[in-house]
Copies of this chain bind each other. A is one copy, B any other.
Amino acid sequence: MSEKRADRLSQLRNIPVFMKLPDSALGMLHGILAARSFHKGENIFTEGSESTGFYIVTKGRVKVFKLSAEGKEQILHIVGAKELLGAVSAFAGAPYPAHADAMEKTTAFFLPRKDFLALIQKEPSVVMNMMANLAMRLQHFTRLIEDLSLKEVPGRLAAYLLYLCERTGCSDVLEIDISKGQLASLLGTIPETLSRILRKMSDKGILEVRGRRVRLLNRKALHDIVNGEKMGL
Please report A residues at the B interface, Cβ cutoff 8 Å. 20, 74, 76-77, 84, 87-89, 91-94, 117, 120-121, 124-125, 127-132, 134-139, 141-146, 148-151, 163, 167, 178, 182-183, 185-189, 227
Whether B135 lies near A135 (C-beta < 8 A) is no
Q: Which residues of B contact A187 (CB under 8 A)?
A: 188
Q: Which residues of B contact A183 (CB under 8 A)?
A: 149
Bound-state CA distance A208–B87 (Å) is 36
Q: Which residues of B contact A178 (CB under 8 A)?
A: 146, 149
Q: Which residues of B contact A134 (CB under 8 A)?
A: 131, 134-135, 138
Bound-state CA distance A94–B30 (Å) is 25
Whether A131 lies near B127 (C-beta < 8 A) is yes
Q: Which residues of B contact A88 (CB under 8 A)?
A: 132, 135-136, 139
| Closest chain B residue, CB of each to CB of A143 | B77
Bound-state CA distance A146–B80 (Å) is 14
Bound-state CA distance A202–B152 (Å) is 30
| Closest chain B residue, CB of each to CB of A83 | B142
Q: Which residues of B contact A131 (CB under 8 A)?
A: 87, 91, 127, 130-131, 134
Whether A185 lies near B185 (C-beta < 8 A) is no
Whether A132 lies near B92 (C-beta < 8 A) is yes
The minimal Cβ–Cβ distance linking A100 to chain B, given in whole angstroms, is 13
Q: Nearest 10 pairs between A and B by C-beta?
A: A188-B188, A149-B186, A91-B132, A92-B132, A134-B134, A141-B141, A91-B131, A149-B182, A88-B136, A87-B135
Q: Which residues of B contact A127 (CB under 8 A)?
A: 120, 124, 127, 131
Bound-state CA distance A124–B186 (Å) is 40
Q: Which residues of B contact A143 (CB under 8 A)?
A: 76-77
Whether A138 lies near B141 (C-beta < 8 A) is yes
| Closest chain B residue, CB of each to CB of A136 | B88
The minimal Cβ–Cβ distance linking A35 to chain B, given in whole angstroms, is 22
Q: Which residues of B contact A120 (CB under 8 A)?
A: 120, 124, 127-128
Q: Which residues of B contact A163 (CB under 8 A)?
A: 145
